[in-house]
């Protein structure tokens, strides 16, 4: 009988990725020269487990690569080899390669053999007593043919095939900016393929349908080209080949049809991509499973009781009381079961935080800065779906603090600060939300420079008066950047606007507070889960809408004497000496209100990202928990609406997006202002 091992392969991949995370964490904790033996043992055990498992499943490339790492770690463990910073860096790079190999095998993609060979050579050189950084242990130069071949130019240039994913434009990346940077490297010629462009009525403005064949001639390194596409490597098909590789001599000529076939094949073969960070499984503690089983038992008992009542022929007062009691018990059990099921999806945010020590380690070396990362609140739990989508925005914010926030050691010493900067990543629960703070003790935002750039780019008028808070908020505008030099860390004007857009897509907010010379604090507020929402039902005309309870400050009866029409702006309501813009929901959604006179309506004052608006509604209903259904998945995205839900009577109610309504309010005020000026 043949035993099928494939059923265990998914578990192997999951455990291997966990082992790689352990290896990376422990390598970052290693003290160079005085390494703790237990730390090295932990790294060795993780590598040994991956090697053994990969051998069992026939993943020989992984097993062979891990064997070299294991040999190096074994020598460190036995005291035969000193732990150096160079060795730690090579082992960290090897962990990256192993992660890429396992991700590719899991996705059934081809391995990047060139990268595997290059890093394996570094390990072999280290074991042989030579340095992969260009010199041997005696100081003799060592040739690195792989790097030379990969990084030097061909003398004539490169051919580039570039096909963005359909949703790449939605991440804030623009092919025009990339081509502009390529043109700065050499002479650029481009041929666009628009064959996938749909008919005009079917075009989605935010989608990409084009692909390009680019020819870049000149004395250019391949690494310089790869740097241009670094931001979109996960969102496109990309092939970079030397022009010289297309040139054949008479003795090596190939038929034209064959050449065309090879080119077509290259186009259809997608570039290697990183595996998705989203996982299809989740580890749950046995306590949570036991609680769920107990609740199912309670539901079965309640269902049995109600079924028994339904079978009784004579239904009197006594049976009605039992029915009411049974329904109350059913409601209680359902609510508790819902809470227990949601708890299963809750994971500690340490799963997200664990990637940042490596990021800070690598970038601080690259930027010649000394930076310490402090983590707190790692046990704070968050819904798995939210956690998987918050990782990329956090990476942008951490990189921003590393590059723009923390100063170099000499600048910090001159300013009377410790030479080592600090970035503090903290998470905690607050009012039904999770709050994540990224704090740095760097230079803070240069508000004067931000305002000057904003005026120069037309984001702000020359005579506009902005508060410090409003100026700081400008960094979230699309394409905005204060970097003087474009680097692979920052400066392309892509990032902060994407951060805000992605966080808003999760129903959250992000804001920044800064003190010149002392640092900045970026604060992210997110819902604990994307599946359930506590909401307030409101009536507008014949429709029912749900307002997120967390956004509501208060509701008031309209006093028309407090309604003002400010010149050049929409109507505002004076509430305790604060003027709040009024958003008439019946006008926004083009429906007939129940009350034609504003004094008969109600104002629901809501807040998001530090801004307030008053929503004019006809009436308030009760508060309730609602299950969120995606409107974009089932219909399309609508400004001011974040989703929909099904009410108890079977009707559909739309869930209001407070941030979107505030944006609508600003647009309306701008229109009124333009009309006033024109008049």
The tokens describing 579, both together, are 């003027």
Residue 584 CB partners (closer than 8 Å, separation 6+) = 616
Buried b (16+ CB within 10 A) or exposed e, 533-558: bebbbbbbbebbbbbbebbbeebeeb
DSSP assignment of 618-643: SEEEEEEEEE-B-HHHHS--BTTEEE
375 HSE (CA, 13 A, CB side): 16
Q: What are phi and psi of 544, to 5 degrees?
A: -115, 130
What is the SS3 assignment for 313-356?
CCCCHHHHHHHHHHHHHHHHHHHHHHHHHHHHCEEECHHHHCCH
- Vertex 399, ends 398 and 400: CA angle to 5°? 90
Q: Let me know the angle formed at the C-alpha of 128 by 122 and 134, rounded to the nearest 5 degrees.
A: 45
CA 470 vs. chain centroid, Å, equals 24
Q: Which residue has the tokens 């309504």?
A: 661
Rounded Cα distance between 602 and 199, Å, is: 46
Q: Which two tokens stand for residue 179?
A: 């081509």
Distance CA 437, CA 360 (A): 16
Q: Cα separation of 112 and 272, whole Å?
A: 8
SS3 44: helix
List, by residue number, the catalytic residues: 48, 70, 400
Interatomic CA distance for residues 672 and 678, integer angstroms: 10
Helix, strand, coil shares of the chain, percent, nearest 5, are 45, 20, 30
- Supply angle C-alpha 285, 286, 288, rounded to 5: 70
Kind of pairing, strands 602-608 and 509-515?
unpaired
Report helix, strand or coil for 380: coil
Query: Encoding tokens for residue 170?
Result: 């939605």
Of the candidates 208, 212, 242, 245, the residue with the CA atom closest to the CA atom of residue 225: 242
Cβ contacts of 453 within 8 Å, gap of 6 or more: 480, 481, 482
What's the CA angle centered on 477, arms 473 and 483, to 5 degrees? 90
Whether residue 468 contacts residue 447, with contact meaning beta carbons closer than 8 Å, is answered with yes
What is the C-alpha separation between 324 and 304, in angstroms, rounded? 15
Residues 657 and 546: their CA atoms lie apart, in Å, by 9
Tokens 């400008």, located at residue: 474
């Amino acid at each position: 009988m043949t035993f099928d091992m494939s059923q265990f392969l998914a578990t192997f991949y999951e455990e291997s990725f966990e082992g790689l995370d352990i290896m990376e964490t422990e390598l970052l904790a290693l003290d160079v020269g005085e390494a703790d033996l237990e730390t090295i043992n932990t790294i060795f055990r993780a590598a040994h487990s991956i090697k053994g498992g990969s051998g069992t499943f026939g993943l020989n490339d992984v097993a062979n690569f891990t064997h070299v790492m294991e040999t190096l770690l074994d020598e460190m463990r036995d005291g035969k080899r000193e732990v150096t910073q160079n060795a730690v860096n090579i082992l960290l790079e090897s962990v990256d390669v192993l992660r890429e190999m396992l991700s590719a095998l899991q996705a059934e993609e081809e391995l990047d053999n060139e990268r595997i060979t290059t890093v394996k050579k570094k390990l072999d050189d280290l074991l042989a007593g030579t340095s992969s950084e260009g010199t041997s242990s005696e100081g003799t130069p060592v040739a690195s043919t792989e790097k030379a071949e990969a990084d030097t130019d061909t003398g004539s240039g490169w051919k580039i095939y570039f096909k963005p994913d359909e949703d790449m434009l939605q991440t804030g990346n623009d092919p025009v900016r990339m081509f502009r940077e390529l043109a700065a490297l050499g002479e650029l010629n481009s041929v666009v393929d628009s064959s996938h462009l749909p008919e005009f009525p079917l075009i989605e403005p935010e989608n990409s349908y084009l692909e390009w064949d680019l020819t870049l001639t000149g004395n250019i390194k391949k690494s310089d080209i790869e740097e241009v596409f670094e931001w979109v490597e996960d969102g496109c098909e990309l092939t970079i080949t030397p022009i010289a590789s297309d040139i054949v001599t008479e003795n090596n000529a190939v038929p034209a049809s064959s050449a065309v076939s090879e080119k077509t094949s290259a186009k259809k073969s997608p570039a290697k991509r990183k595996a998705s960070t989203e996982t299809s499984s989740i580890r749950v503690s046995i306590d949570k499973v036991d609680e769920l089983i107990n609740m199912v038992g309670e539901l079965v008992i309640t269902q049995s009781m109600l079924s028994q009542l339904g079978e009784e022929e004579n239904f009197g007062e006594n049976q009605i009381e039992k029915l009411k009691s049974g329904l109350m018990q059913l409601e209680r059990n359902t609510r508790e079961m819902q809470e227990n099921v949601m708890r299963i999806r809750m994971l500690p945010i340490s799963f997200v935080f664990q990637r940042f020590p490596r990021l800070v380690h690598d970038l601080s070396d690259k930027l010649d800065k000394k930076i310490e990362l402090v983590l707190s609140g790692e046990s704070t739990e968050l819904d798995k779906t939210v956690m998987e989508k918050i990782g990329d925005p956090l990476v942008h914010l951490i990189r921003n603090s590393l590059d723009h926030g923390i100063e170099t050691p000499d600048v910090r010493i001159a300013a009377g600060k410790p030479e080592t900067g600090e970035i503090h990543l903290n998470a905690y629960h607050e009012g039904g939300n999770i709050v994540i703070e990224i704090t740095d003790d760097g230079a803070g935002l240069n508000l004067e420079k931000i305002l000057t750039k904003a005026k120069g780019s037309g984001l702000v008028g020359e005579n506009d008066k902005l508060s410090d808070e409003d100026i700081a908020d400008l960094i979230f505008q699309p394409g905005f950047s204060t970097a003087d030099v474009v680097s692979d860390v920052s400066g392309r004007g892509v990032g902060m606007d994407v951060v805000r857009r992605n966080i808003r897509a999760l129903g959250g907010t992000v804001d920044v507070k800064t003190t010149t010379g002392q640092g900045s604090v970026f604060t992210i507020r997110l819902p604990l889960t994307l599946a359930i929402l506590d909401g307030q039902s409101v009536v507008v005309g014949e429709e029912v809408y749900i307002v997120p309870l967390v956004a509501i400050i208060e509701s008031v009866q309209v006093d028309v004497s407090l309604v003002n029409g400010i010149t050049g702006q929409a109507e505002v309501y004076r509430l305790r000496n604060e003027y709040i813009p009024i958003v008439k929901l019946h006008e926004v959604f083009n429906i007939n209100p129940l009350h034609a006179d504003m004094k008969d309506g109600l104002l629901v004052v809501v807040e998001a990202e530090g801004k307030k608006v008053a929503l004019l509604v006809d009436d308030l209903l009760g508060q309730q928990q609602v299950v969120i259904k995606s409107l974009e998945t089932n219909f399309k995205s609508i400004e001011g609406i974040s989703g929909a839900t099904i009410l108890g009577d079977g009707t559909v109610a739309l869930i209001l997006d407070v941030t979107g309504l505030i944006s609508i309010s600003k647009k309306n005020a701008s229109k009124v202002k333009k009309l006033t000026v024109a008049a």
